[in-house]
Amino acid sequence: MTAAFRPFRMKANNDQNDGELLRLMLAGDEDALTLLYRRRQAAIYRFALQMSGSPSVAEDVTQEVFLFLMRQGHVFDAARGSLPSFLLGVARNYVLRRLRGEQLLVTLADDYEDEVASEQTRTEPGLLEELTRAETIEAVRKAILSLPERYREVVVLCELQELSYVETAEILGCAIGTVRSRLHRARSLLLTKLRPAEQADQTTEVTVKSARCFA
């Protein structure tokens, strides 16, 4: 009995890095697709969910990202960044397209955000401690969703996905300094949004009246 000649073909396994799995997937290896999907789907789904607040949008975006990878995975260039960053960049584009197309969320106007960010945020201690854990999480989630897109994506990537400034800059296609300054403004906006209404009034008054200490 003679063994039929078969060309040598590497099988996908979990020890292989993302680049190798992608190459095998593009060559038609279904196992590579499965491994790659299981390895990277959660981050993409969470990113889309945190950006949109909609599980259905997050699901659609995750699917679109992997379909894009199947069709045009050859455009990935390892020299320009890692595959997770590439996938999150693709996911970001799909999310923004959905958000802008469907107007799922109402964002703050630019003049308002600049006005709020420019003022020095003053918050009383124990602001978030007064809330229960579940309430805190829900409040933070809503506050993030109400941020303008450019601040929201920085908070999601740097705070919730815990990516470095460098990785975030790769995904957003901007400078590291831009990421840092946007994050700073985004946190100021979040503190303002999380402040209770009565405290906000007092704080605003205090902010106006108080002279800054330059000790």
Q: How far is the CB of 42 from another protein (least distance, A)?
A: 4
Q: How far is the CB of 170 from another protein (least distance, A)?
A: 18
Nearest to 66 by CA among 30, 90, 93, 47: 90
Applying CB under 8 A, the span of 11-19, 79-87, 104-112, 124-132 interacting with another protein comes to 124-132
Euclidean distance between CA atoms 13 and 151, whole angstroms: 38
Q: Contact with another protein (CB under 8 A): which of 103, 162, 173, 197?
A: 162
Region label for 77, one of left (φ > 0), alpha (ψ between -120 and 50) or beta (otherwise) = beta
Between residues 163 and 172, which has the closer beta carbon with respect to another protein?
Answer: 163
* Residues 6+ positions from 125 with CB-CB distance below 8 Å: none
Q: Position of tokens 């003049």? A: 111
Q: Position of tokens 């000649």? A: 5
Residue 35 interacts with another protein (CB under 8 A): yes or no: no
For the record, the structure tokens of 76 come out as 């990935």
Identity (one letter) of the amino acid at 133? R
Between residues 103 and 192, which has the closer beta carbon with respect to another protein?
Answer: 192
User: How many residues are present in the chain?
Assistant: 215
Residue 52 interacts with another protein (CB under 8 A): yes or no: no
Between residues 103 and 186, which has the closer beta carbon with respect to another protein?
Answer: 186
Q: How far is the CB of 205 from another protein (least distance, A)?
A: 14
Euclidean distance between CA atoms 66 and 51, whole angstroms: 18
Q: Which residues are near another protein by CB under 8 A? A: 25-28, 30, 33-34, 37-38, 41-42, 44-46, 49-50, 58-59, 62-63, 66-67, 70-71, 74, 120-129, 133, 136-137, 139-141, 144, 155, 159-160, 162, 183-184, 187, 190-191, 194, 210, 212-215
